[in-house]
Each structure stands twice: as structure tokens, then as C-alpha cells.
Amino acid sequence: MASEERGRGRLLHNMPGLLQASLNPWLVRVRNNPERLAFVLHRVTGVIILAYLVAHIFVTSATVDEALWESVMGALSGPLSRVGEWIVAGAVIFHGLNGIRLILVEFLGLGVGRPERPKPPYVPPSLRSGQRKGLYLVFALSLAGWALAGVIMFAG
Amino acid sequence: MRASTLQLLQYLSAMALVVLLGFHIIERVPGLSPLTPESYEESLSYEVVRRAYKEYWWVLALLLAAALFHGLNGLRGILLEWRPAAHRVINLVFVAAFIALLAYGLRTIALHLAG
């Protein structure tokens, strides 16, 4: 952690690092918090999809020439690429479904409720019945969609 | 651009992507695709891909812009959280990457429409 010794890093001493705060749900001690799991998965799948998007832009530029396109598709038709594509498909399905949930909850403010006093034992509204059901629905639909994508990709 | 405007665009591009990416994926599913490929494999044959570029070039162009903005702006947010002090470099790289990748993707679409 040499970078934390320099300048601004010292001010942020009490803050957990990026990995601890957002990318590793097992390092931050929270229990029974599907919202944190959704947040971490949203980030990880987002990065996976962006990497795929950049590669996709370059790969599809081969479509300008038929022979080139056939050779590129031949090189990317192995089982390893298929499994990679299936992982990207799962990432897109989860990111999309959770993104729709986020639009409804964060952008349109659906089911957020009125401001209230945080009386102990405090449970944030995002972890109470309605919103919790939304999170579980996203996880369930994502797994079902991922399985369906597998059927289409490997058997279709 | 203000951070709040970028975040608004992040939500708007997300909503656009639900529709555009939905169409882009349905294009590949035999039986649902307007390009009518015979199988999943067939959906990436040269003829089908070329027809997609010819007939739905504007969908692909909008999708390219929306996806690039949404993805790169998302990465920008992660990087800003990681290194708040480097916000100038991060914002510059975001703009440069967006313009460069958008130009490269549009070039592919333009080449299809020309030839």
C-alpha cells in the first residue's frame, strides 16, 4: 500500500479501498444484504460487458470483407469462445434486469417510501419486503435467463 | 458537462439500451429474428450480418453510441471512486476513448453502406 502514503491517500486512511468497498462482498462485513451483492455483481458484469463491447467493435470491423469475416468467425468458434460468450450473455442478462430495477427504484423512485426516523433496530427501506422481493426477483430471473441463453447457444 | 447531466444521460442511455440491445440480440435468435437466419450458427453468416448492416444501420449506430457512452461513463465512475485526485486524467481518457471507439465503429457501418 505504498500509494496510501502519498498526499491524498493519507486523508482517505479510514476509507476502505476500492476492492474492499465495492468489488469484494466477502471483505466487507455485512450480513443478509442482497443489495450489496447486486451492487457488486452490477459492477463486475458492467466491466465484463464493456470489455466485450470494445472487443466486439474491433471484431465486427472484419465484416467489411467476406473472407476475413469467415476466418475470424472460424477462429472464434471453439468451445472456449462459446463458454466466454455464455458468460457475457449471463452478464448482460443480470446487468439488464438489475438495471431495470435500478431505473424503477432510483430514477423513478418507485417503492422508496417517505423519509423516516431511523429508529433502532434500523432496517433500510432497500432491504425491506418490497425492495427485497425486487432483488430476489432479479436474481431468480437472471439465473433462469442465463440457463435459457445456454440452451439457445449450445443446443440451438 | 455537469456530473448530474452525465448521470441523467447514464439513465437515459440505459433505457435506450434496453430497447436497442434487446433488438440486437433478438436479431440472432432463429424464429424471432427479422433477418430470418435458419439457426444460431447461421445468424452470423456473412449474408445475414451484411443484411443487418444494410437494413438496420441506424439501430447499430444508435446502439454503438448509447452502449459506448453507458459503458465508458460507468467505468469513469469506478475510476473516479478509486482515484478521486486523478479526475482530470480520467475525464480526458473517457472523452478520448468515447470519440475514438465511436469513430471506429461508425467507420465499419459507413464502409458497409458505401460498398
Chain B residues with CB under 8 Å of A69 CB are: 46, 49
Same domain? For A82 and A14 the reply is: no
CA-based nearest distance B88→chain A, Å:
15
What CATH number does the domain containing A89 carry?
A: 1.20.1300.10
B20, B44, B99: which to substitute to probe chain A, counting the most A Cβ within 10 Å?
B44
Q: Which domain holds residue A122?
A: 34-155
For residues A113 and A140, membership in a common domain is answered with yes
Overall domain count for chain A = 2
* Candidates B85, B104, B108; nearest CB to A64: B108
> Both A54 and A25 in a single domain?
no
For residue B48, list chain A residues with Cβ-Cβ distance below 8 A: none
Tally of CB atoms within 10 A around A80: 8
Q: Per the CB < 8 Å rule, is A22 touching B111?
A: no
Whether A42 and A26 map to the same domain: the answer is no
The confidence band for B41, taking pLDDT boundaries of 50, 70 and 90, is: confident
Residue A26: per-residue pLDDT: 56
- Looking at the fold, whether A13 and A63 belong to one and the same domain comes out as no
pLDDT beyond 80 at A85: yes
The arithmetic mean of pLDDT across residues A124-143, rounded, is 90
* Same domain as A137, residue A106: yes
pLDDT tens digits, A3-50: 444 444 444 445 556 666 666 555 565 667 888 889 989 999 999 999
A59 and A73 share a domain? Answer: yes
d(CA A33, CA A22): 13
| Confidence tier at B12 by pLDDT (50, 70, 90) | very high
